[in-house]
Amino acid sequence: MPSVLRKEMFHLPEGIIYLDGNSLGPLPKAVPEKVAHMVQAQWGEMLIKGWNTAGWMAQPGRLGDRVGQLIGAPEGSVVLGDTLSLKVFQAVAAALKMRPGRRVILSDTGNFPTDLYMADGLAKLLDDGYEVRVEDPLHIADFIDESVAVVMLTQVDYRTGRLHDMDAITKIAHAKGAVMIWDLAHSAGAIPVDIAASECELAIGCTYKYLNGGPGAPAFIYVRPDLLDTIEPALAGWLGHDAPFAFDLDYRPGAGIERMRVGTPPVIQMASLEAALQVWDGVAMADLRAESVALQEQFIAQIEARVPGLTLASPRDPNARGSQVSFSFPEGYAAMQAVIARGVIGDFRAPDIMRFGFTPLYIDAADVRAAVDHIAAVINENLWDDPQYKVRNRVT
């Protein structure tokens, strides 16, 4: 098996072991030049003509196709834009229109809060009896009944890494007549996804975690191809119009996935993302998954052997995990600060979760071994109780 390791394509700060690519991917080396070129040679020299001459206008669809390859989406079914929160709103709003007689948006307590907040905001806005029902992720299938308009789940739990069975849950949702939306925030670029095979209607995700697009990189939305001509975009912006530059007074949705576009795309962020996506050329997701699992298994085995104070909070079965491993520790916040101060960057999630992301593009077995050394020192020697580490340093 060819290794997917390609550290040389990333800028990795000296002395840092970065196990937080599940929050914000590191800087791919191709990005600074691409961004500088976009700013200076395109914006600076082409001015307004850049929209066509430099291809800015077509970029959200072009990059959508590239992201689509990583999640098993056919060409023309994914487009980039806005933020994941907004794409959640757009997806749920569109889904509700597909099931006008139903009033329940079903999700689980393992979903990332903004997904729940956006759905809740939509329900309040509609003010027509809609309810966001949030249940236990381990038994979510039991809560799918004929009252459910849409099931919206994040495939990988952001705290524990627990992985939902996408195909099985989608089948159950469809059997009960519900629309299925998958949030791939912690899946895209992390695990193999075959979104088309799942037959879910909609999927959304972000590009600043495992896809390394940069802070605030645009989100993506996938629409199952057979729905593209009838889906109501809800956020009906001019760049989703059939003829944006005709400046008609009336909205007429564009062809295909283009209708899910809203406003003017963030071209500088798009340039960064475009360069970042080059890293994926030649990477087979199956290979990446195998290496991710190997790193996670190594990490769990070594932590459990050397750091008895930590308790595994992720599923033990690697097939039930995404690409991260979490341990619980009562003083997890302080401990993570101490670990970070020693150059191993993971993050903390309330109430007691120490979270570590494994990204085989730039993390190898030697990094894992070194990370375990630092974690062992901090926990076993109670270094987390050292005042020098008690600095408040919130990370997202």
In sequence order, which residues have a C-beta less than 8 Å from that of residue 195 and are 6 or more positions away? 71, 72, 73, 182, 184, 203, 222
Contact (CB, 8 A) for 183 and 248: no
Note the residue count of the chain: 396
Select from 162, 164, 289, 349 the one that contacts its own copies (CB under 8 A): 349
Nearer to its own copies, 6 or 176 (CB): 6
Select from 69, 114, 298, 328 the one that contacts its own copies (CB under 8 A): 114
Binding mask 270-289 for its own copies (x = CB under 8 A): x-x-----------------
Which tokens hold the place of 122? 């939509």
Q: Give yes or no for residue 377 binding its own copies (CB under 8 A).
A: no
Select from 7, 32, 286, 385 the one that contacts its own copies (CB under 8 A): 32
Q: Give yes or no for residue 356 binding its own copies (CB under 8 A).
A: no
Binding mask 152-191 for its own copies (x = CB under 8 A): ----------------------------------------
* CB of 282 vs its own copies, minimal distance in Å: 24
Segment near its own copies (CB under 8 A), from 136-144, 186-194, 216-224, 308-316? 216-224
Which residues in the 121-140 window bind its own copies by CB under 8 A?
121, 124-128, 134
DSSP per position, 333-356: HHHHHHHHHTTEE-EEETTTEEEE
Select from 226, 248, 381, 385 the one that contacts its own copies (CB under 8 A): 248
List the alpha helices (DSSP H) in the chain.
30-37, 45-46, 50-53, 59-70, 84-98, 113-126, 166-175, 195-198, 267-277, 285-306, 332-341, 365-380
DSSP SS3 for 90: helix
Map tokens 């098993």 to a residue.
72
* CB of 355 vs its own copies, minimal distance in Å: 11
Q: Give yes or no for residue 246 binding its own copies (CB under 8 A).
A: yes
In sequence order, which residues have a C-beta less than 8 Å from that of residue 371 and are 6 or more positions away? 17, 19, 299, 344, 356
Q: What is the DSSP letter of 36?
A: H
**Size of interface with its own copies, in residues (CB under 8 A):** 91
Select from 141, 172, 268, 376 the one that contacts its own copies (CB under 8 A): 268
Cα 134 from chain centre: 20
* CB of 312 vs its own copies, minimal distance in Å: 20
Select from 5, 6, 9, 16 the one that contacts its own copies (CB under 8 A): 16
Segment near its own copies (CB under 8 A), from 166-174, 265-273, 331-339, 380-388? 265-273
Q: Give yes or no for residue 51 binding its own copies (CB under 8 A).
A: yes
Select from 3, 40, 380, 382 the one that contacts its own copies (CB under 8 A): 40
Nearer to its own copies, 45 or 146 (CB): 45
Contact (CB, 8 A) for 342 and 378: yes
DSSP per position, 251-303: --B-SGGGGG--S---HHHHHHHHHHHGGGTT--HHHHHHHHHHHHHHHHHHH
Catalytic positions: 112, 183, 208-209, 355
CA distance 240 to 392: 43
Contact (CB, 8 A) for 181 and 95: yes
Q: Give yes or no for residue 311 binding its own copies (CB under 8 A).
A: no
Binding mask 193-212 for its own copies (x = CB under 8 A): -------------x-x----
Q: Give yes or no for residue 50 binding its own copies (CB under 8 A).
A: yes
Q: Give yes or no for residue 24 binding its own copies (CB under 8 A).
A: yes
